[in-house]
Structure 1
Amino acid sequence: MKLTILGGGGFRVPLVYGALLTDRGEGRVTDVVLHDLDAGRLQAVARVLAEQAAGLPDAPAVTATTDLDDALRGADFVFSAIRVGGLEGRADDERVALAEGVLGQETVGAGGIAYGLRTVPVAVDIARRVARLAPDAWLINFTNPAGLVTEAMSRHLGDRVIGICDSPVGLGRRIARVLGADPNQAWIDYVGLNHLGWVRGLRVAGRDELPRLLADPGLLGSFEEGKLFGVDWLRSLGAIPNEYLHYYYFNRETVRAYQQAEKTRGAFLAGQQARFYEEMRDPDAAALAAWDRTRAEREATYMAENRETAGAGDRDADDLSGGYEKVALALMRAIARDERATLILNVRNGATLAALDADAVIEVPCLVDANGAHPMSAAPLPGHAAGLVTAVKAVEREVLAAAESGSRATAVKAFALHPLVDSVNVARRLVEGYREVHPGLAYLR
């Protein structure tokens, strides 16, 4: 089976390949094609993968190419893990937003809109090429903003594109762990949009254990989200929010912390990864060791400003292992082998959430089999959550409309309607600021 990874020179690709190395089952991936626009990054990642596969004679064969069409032809699965504008673009997204006093995070608020506006046209082109060159392939979208990009691609690939994220998986794992339950045996009632969802229940052997967690301040305050949001707020919500909702619930504090930080997250990662890729220019450098060292630092500093604002301390060691590659492997196995699995994924809504139309991409538990991912029924969201979900989905739709039409006015509308952008004038300045720093947004007129 052939897997094509778009953004194959990206830093997290070795996580995916490492997961593939654990698969010995029938119908496993035997050929991996890495595609990237940067040949130097491709070569660096290929070296890491070669060291990962050392001593494993049946490891998937790896090839690399800068030709997109060649990479797609004959693919059974396509992973889209691109970053339009690179980490320098992410740093610019943060800088422009923070100068206006609003959040610049890559998937939330102004930064997420800017990233979406320059990513959607590229993602749509990829989707069209997949439909033409690999019509039977399943496209698994890693590209952020994951829900928005998955919805853009679904307009051309239908249900054959599925978005994934490790945030809900990590959240469910932490809740199960603190309750003393096996995460693999727990049913997680999670619903929302990507980076905008809530765990409303966690069932073990048919019993919802979440009320027990909410009733115990010691347990509730002992894990990442309890530290991040605070026990009182979680008990008020009666649910455990995805960590990214910290940007909404504690927005002023987070923006202030980001403004006061020595470097934004994007600037930090840009510098850190630049050092890694520069080190890989030395043919004698130990590629895998350098990658491991860089990844450990990356994970340990994740959402550092939010944790500092909340006084949450350092991340637990169990939360430093990633996870999205495991979701991807489980998803591929379920489809390729018709092994039924339940996974939290980004898929088209259908009739799952009455507040949204059928084509809206949502993030919910899905039953996966050879025919793809099927969203499972979900109880209605409470009013506060439904309002936030519908407001942000409306913004995503304006981003898609702006990307399709090239309308600057529609882009302004997308920014102005977002709950974390509090002024039409700020929205106008954001559009102009982003057009100045991103050549890829010259299409907005």
Structure 2
Amino acid sequence: MKGIKIVVIGGGSSYTPELADGIIRKHPVLPVSEIVLVDINDGKEKCEINTALLKRMFAKADLNTRIHMTLDRGTALTGADFVITQFRVGGLEARAKDESIPVKYDMIGQETTGPGGFAKALRTIPVMLEICRDMEYLCPDAWLINFTNPSGIVTEAVLKHSGVKCIGLCNVPINMKRMLEEHLGADKSRLHCRFTGLNHLSVIKNVYLDGRDVLGEILESPIVKREIVSNIPSVDFSGDFLSSLGFIPSPYLRYYYFEKQLLAEEKEKLEQGHGTRAREVMEIEKKLFEMYQEEELDHKPAELSERGGALYSEAAVELIDSIWNNKSAIHIVNVPNGGAVPELPQDCIIETNCIVNREGAVPLTGGSLPEGIIGLIQHAKAYECLTIEAAVSGSKSKALAALINNPLVHDVPAAIKLLHELLEANNKYLPQFHERR
């Protein structure tokens, strides 16, 4: 059986041991013969630490998978079968700005939604397209599995502006489904959840247990009201509210439904000097990498769960398995709409249930969006499309149009000032905007 070469761009990420753990567990059916961790010079030390840890993990599993790292992306990509992207342009310092600057203008500060997600997309898309150009030349048959946020926007940019085969991935859907499996005491094969919408703006419109739709029962369950992702503030959904919606919302919808409350909490944390989630993650990562350096550590540490990203490895490795082994399994991923959601453009990226095999991912036709979410999702998709255009063109007018169309931006004069500050704060990472346009 041919060995698989996996290239991980952003190999210095604290998530890397999570990914490696999944690859080890899946080795009987997914014979990975080589893993190359790639990073830039700023991430070199962390990448070296991860490389050493992965070697210990694979040695413990008695696997002779070749593990190595490089700062030369071209060398790494040559002959790759799968490329996994998990990088962060500007690092956690840039994330801290994404989370703090918008709050000054009375807007939510978050790394993937609102103005913070907008800034992150502007930084990320040009770098991702450079990677794609390398892939087109060095590994044209490889699959790009994108975990880099904002995953839906970045994946759409790749598929609109390159010839690379790409599927976007997020760990939120698999965590939502796992939560329901545990609540119902059901094996995953018995439970089918129908997801629809956009990345970090998706909903579960149906829940089938042994073929019976139990959504109504689930909406009355306390587990749905208190559903938590580690990097999202905990705010309860009331039973009346969920019943009125008629669907299970992604945890990220809290930023839209409880915007004033969460903004007030963000302001209070900053005023009290507690910093943002990025500052918390910096402390978590400092401890994690100290742990990763311990020579006796030869497994994924439990403390990694504090970082977020739970079930990332399972989602990524199961997806690769479905492609490599032509399984035609169902995965919730980010793919071109192709008419699956009639309220959105055919070529835009949606997050939904797909059949995945060696040909790629094909969305299952799920019908219309729930009425209670159509407007918000169409609004957000307009913002996403404009953001991609701005990131690719370097047009400040297009960037302003994108920011104004973000559902978490409500004031044009404030948006104009905010855009100026975001571009200045990210000047180093936004060469496309250096010329006045």
Give TM-score, length-normalised by structure 2: 0.91
Pair 185,217 (structure 1): closer, same or farther in 2 beyond 3 Å: closer
Pair 360,23 (structure 1): closer, same or farther in 2 beyond 3 Å: same
Aligned with 1:354 (options 318, 321, 342) = 342
Match of 2:390 in 1: 402
C-alpha distance in 2, partners of 1:428/1:278?
A: 42
Match of 1:79 in 2: 84
Q: How does 1:215-294 map to 2 (within 5 A)?
A: 216-217=220-221, 221=225, 224=228, 228-261=236-269, 262-277=274-289, 286=296, 292=301, 294=303
Match of 1:10 in 2: 13
Match of 1:424 in 2: 412
Match of 2:32 in 1: 29
C-alpha distance in 1, partners of 2:84/2:45?
A: 20
Match of 1:114 in 2: 119
In structure 2, stretches of 5+ residues that fail to align are none
Is residue 247–residue 370 contact of structure 2 (8 Å, CA) maintained in 1?
A: no
* Greater Cα offset, 127-136 or 22-31: 22-31
Q: How does 1:44-443 map to 2 (within 5 A)?
A: 44-157=49-162, 160-214=165-219, 216-217=220-221, 221=225, 224=228, 228-261=236-269, 262-277=274-289, 286=296, 292=301, 294-299=303-308, 322-438=310-426, 439-443=428-432
C-alpha distance in 2, partners of 1:127/1:29?
A: 22
Q: Which amino acid aligns with 1:19?
A: G
Name the Cα RMSD after superposition.
2.1
Q: Which amino acid aligns with 1:16?
A: L
Deviation at 1:62, TM superposition (A): 0.6
Is residue 403–residue 409 contact of structure 2 (8 Å, CA) maintained in 1?
A: yes
**Secondary structure of 2:11's match?**
coil
C-alpha distance in 2, partners of 1:271/1:213?
A: 36
Query: What are the Cα deviations for residues 322-378 of structure 1, in whole angstroms up to 9, with x where unaligned?
Result: 112111111111111111210000001111111112210000000011111110001
**Secondary structure of 1:21's match?**
helix
Match of 1:313 in 2: none
Is residue 178–residue 223 contact of structure 1 (8 Å, CA) maintained in 2?
A: no
C-alpha distance in 1, partners of 2:278/2:235?
A: 24
Alignment of 1:41 with 2:53, yes or no, is no
**Secondary structure of 2:362's match?**
strand
Deviation at 1:180, TM superposition (A): 3.0
Identity, in percent, stands at 34
Q: Which amino acid aligns with 1:407?
A: S
Deviation at 1:424, TM superposition (A): 1.2
C-alpha distance in 2, partners of 1:404/1:156?
A: 9
**Secondary structure of 1:228's match?**
coil
Pair 47,391 (structure 1): closer, same or farther in 2 beyond 3 Å: same
Is residue 348–residue 361 contact of structure 1 (8 Å, CA) maintained in 2?
A: yes
Deviation at 1:112, TM superposition (A): 0.3
Deviation at 1:275, TM superposition (A): 4.8
Query: What are the Cα deviations for residues 396-434 of structure 1, in whole angstroms up to 9, with x where unaligned?
Result: 111111112111111111111111111111211111111
Deviation at 1:155, TM superposition (A): 2.1
Is residue 227–residue 251 contact of structure 2 (8 Å, CA) maintained in 1?
A: no
**Secondary structure of 1:257's match?**
helix
In structure 1, stretches of 5+ residues that fail to align are 300-320
Pair 235,384 (structure 1): closer, same or farther in 2 beyond 3 Å: closer
Deviation at 1:268, TM superposition (A): 1.6
C-alpha distance in 1, partners of 2:222/2:30?
A: 46
Deviation at 1:284, TM superposition (A): 5.7
C-alpha distance in 2, partners of 1:153/1:252?
A: 34
Deviation at 1:107, TM superposition (A): 0.7
Give TM-score, length-normalised by structure 1: 0.89
Q: Which amino acid aligns with 2:284?
A: Q
C-alpha distance in 2, partners of 1:80/1:8?
A: 9
Is residue 91–residue 264 contact of structure 1 (8 Å, CA) maintained in 2?
A: yes
C-alpha distance in 2, partners of 1:223/1:272?
A: 22
Is residue 195–residue 242 contact of structure 1 (8 Å, CA) maintained in 2?
A: yes
Pair 224,83 (structure 1): closer, same or farther in 2 beyond 3 Å: closer
Q: Which amino acid aligns with 1:391?
A: H
Pair 428,397 (structure 1): closer, same or farther in 2 beyond 3 Å: same
Deviation at 1:171, TM superposition (A): 0.8
Is residue 323–residue 357 contact of structure 2 (8 Å, CA) maintained in 1?
A: yes
**Secondary structure of 2:26's match?**
coil
**Secondary structure of 2:193's match?**
strand
C-alpha distance in 1, partners of 2:32/2:18?
A: 15
**Secondary structure of 1:229's match?**
coil
Deviation at 1:394, TM superposition (A): 0.7
C-alpha distance in 1, partners of 2:359/2:347?
A: 18
Report how many residues are paired: 420
Deviation at 1:47, TM superposition (A): 2.1
Query: What are the Cα deviations for residues 64-114 of structure 1, in whole angstroms up to 9, with x where unaligned?
Result: 000011111100000011110101100011111111111121111010000
Give runs of ≥4 in structure 1 deviating > 6 Å.
Answer: none
Pair 253,288 (structure 1): closer, same or farther in 2 beyond 3 Å: farther
Pair 159,241 (structure 1): closer, same or farther in 2 beyond 3 Å: farther
C-alpha distance in 1, partners of 2:416/2:298?
A: 45
Deviation at 1:227, TM superposition (A): 6.4
